[in-house]
Amino acid sequence: MTHPDGWSRTLSVEALARVEGEGAMTVRVHEGQVTDVQLRIYEPPRFFEALLRGRDWTEPPDITARICGICPIAYQMSACQALEDACGATIDEPLQALRRLLYCGEWISSHVLHVYLLHAPDFLGYDSAIEMARDHRAVVERGLRLREAGTDLLTLIGGRESHPVNVRVGGFYRTPTRRELHTLRGQLERARDDALETVRWTAGFDFPDFTQDVVMVALSEPDRYAIERGRLVSTAGLDIPVAEFSNHVTERHAPHSNALHAELDGGTTFAVGPLARFALNYDRLSPVAREAAEAAGVGPDCRNPFQSIVVRSVETLYAIDEALRLLDDYERPSRPFVPIEPRAATGHGCTEAPRGILYHRYTIAADGLLTDAVIVPPTSQNQRSIEEDLADFVQARVTLPDDELQWACEQAIRNYDPCISCATHFLDLTVERS
């Protein structure tokens, strides 16, 4: 690897703290001007990168899944890719397809959780989905049914929806039979209709007039919507293999946060997640997803973070459509996993977690034990973008009373789906007016 100037100095900020979790926000306003916005992540650190040192090279998929109970598949997939890269292994295409199918299950369950249970109540003026269900029972039930299409897919392939047990470096412990998988077909077909309805429903919400001009980064593949692999591309022209991630993205430790802040190419703020994927890969959506997006009025030029709820709904539809395609093409792979021998090397992995790219890097020693681990989750990559969003957003609404401003800010933060615990009303907003 070649490094730009100053790389080694930045690399000493070698880590992630907590990914998702508890946070608070402080906005400072001085004489009508927003002077400072801080998203503080005070989720206690759990030291994953430290505790991975000395562990066996086969262990990161199970261990790193525990970073996030909402998107464990993303952690397992990035970990497997990095370790397989280190060992120089190539995974059979049918096993790759099964991984993509499993990942579709996580996109469906995570996106629907966020759209229906966390974000929609903001737009409709409820404190929670439970309250929303009193007035909109059929809608909430549609959401629960839709989410179940994702969790049932996760459970069938992975064993359970949270921290699935069936993923290993090289592939799976046991692959499902075609007959087993096809028990999900009818449910997925109904879910496709529910997802279409979801796109129409969210497209009808009122969106604050707000756009943000920010560099967007996502994985990209030439012939399909990137999920479990791809090259890293940006709206500013970046186009690199995953192995060059840390040459371009650096992390900085701010005093107010237990998460590290990421910057692109020497200080540029960037955003990852559904809007970034849309901006960079829109033309590779399936026809049904693209038609739904067009009807809903969201396209690759969408820069309003509040519309991310519509984009997430379109991606849900895509994930269901893609799952159906993969299911139809599925033949049980000839072997459940590719046998791999560890070797002394460093490997990189990056996949599209529901909330944006998730990067892993591992160094394996000759004895098969890990000597180094680096994990850069989407939330830390988005943190600066969220803060800048908030500064602009608050500035335009600085005369609002505190409670209205707080509601708007919470909604703005949830645009990024930072994760369930921080995404939901974690916000302990302090507005200091002087």
Distance CA 329, CA 94 (A): 9
Contact (Cβ atoms closer than 8 angstroms) between residue 364 and residue 371: yes
Q: Give the single-character DSSP code of 345.
A: E
Contact (Cβ atoms closer than 8 angstroms) between residue 316 and residue 108: yes
What is the identity of the amino acid at 221? E
348 binds other proteins (CB under 8 A): no
Longest dimension (CA), the chain: 69
Contact (Cβ atoms closer than 8 angstroms) between residue 124 and residue 294: no
363 binds other proteins (CB under 8 A): no
Min CB(291)–other proteins separation in Å: 30
Contact (Cβ atoms closer than 8 angstroms) between residue 54 and residue 370: yes
Element (H, E) at 107: helix 93-112
Nearer to other proteins, 115 or 296 (CB): 115
**Among 38, 81, 258, 383, contact with other proteins (rule: CB under 8 A):** 258
Pairing status of strand 171-172 against strand 239-240: unpaired
Nearer to other proteins, 54 or 241 (CB): 54
Min CB(358)–other proteins separation in Å: 14
Cα 44-18-360 angle, rounded to 5 deg: 155
Positions 103 through 142 that interact with other proteins (CB under 8 A): 113, 117, 127-131, 133, 137, 140-141
Nearer to other proteins, 300 or 336 (CB): 336
If 0-12 CB within 10 Å is exposed, 13-18 middle and 19+ buried, where does residue 238 land?
middle
Q: Strand order in 370-376's β-sheet?
A: 345-353, 356-364, 370-376
Nearer to other proteins, 92 or 131 (CB): 131
| 141 CB-side CA count, 13 A | 5
Q: Give the contact letters, 383-412, x = binds to other proteins (CB under 8 A), - = no.
A: ---------------------------x--
Nearer to other proteins, 249 or 296 (CB): 249
Distance CA 310, CA 190 (A): 19
Q: Which stretch binds other proteins (CB under 8 A): 100-108, 201-209, 281-289, 416-424?
A: 416-424
Min CB(165)–other proteins separation in Å: 5
Min CB(17)–other proteins separation in Å: 6
The Cα-based distances of 131 to 124, 135, 147, 185, 338 in angstroms read 11, 8, 19, 32, 49
> Judged by CB under 8 A, how many residues of this single chain contact other proteins?
67
Q: Give the contact letters, 172-201, x = binds to other proteins (CB under 8 A), - = no.
A: -xx---------------------------
Min CB(278)–other proteins separation in Å: 26
Q: Give the contact letters, 52-81, x = binds to other proteins (CB under 8 A), - = no.
A: -x-xx--x--xx--xxxxx-x---------
Distance CA 29, CA 32 (A): 6
Measure CA of the first residue to CA of the last residue in the chain; give whole Å: 50
**Among 7, 14, 244, 395, contact with other proteins (rule: CB under 8 A):** 14
Q: Give the contact letters, 21-50, x = binds to other proteins (CB under 8 A), - = no.
A: xx--------------------xxxxxxxx
Nearer to other proteins, 325 or 332 (CB): 332
The Cα-based distances of 185 to 198, 255, 268, 324 in angstroms read 20, 50, 44, 7
Q: Which stretch binds other proteins (CB under 8 A): 14-22, 291-299, 376-384, 391-399?
A: 14-22
Distance CA 176, CA 182 (A): 10
Nearer to other proteins, 124 or 144 (CB): 144
Q: Give the single-character DSSP code of 260.
A: P
Min CB(40)–other proteins separation in Å: 11
Where along the sequence are the contacts to other proteins (CB under 8 A)? Answer: 12-17, 20-22, 43-51, 53, 55-56, 59, 62-63, 66-70, 72, 113, 117, 127-131, 133, 137, 140-141, 144, 147, 151, 159-163, 165-166, 168, 173-174, 252-253, 255, 258, 260, 336, 410, 419-421, 424-426
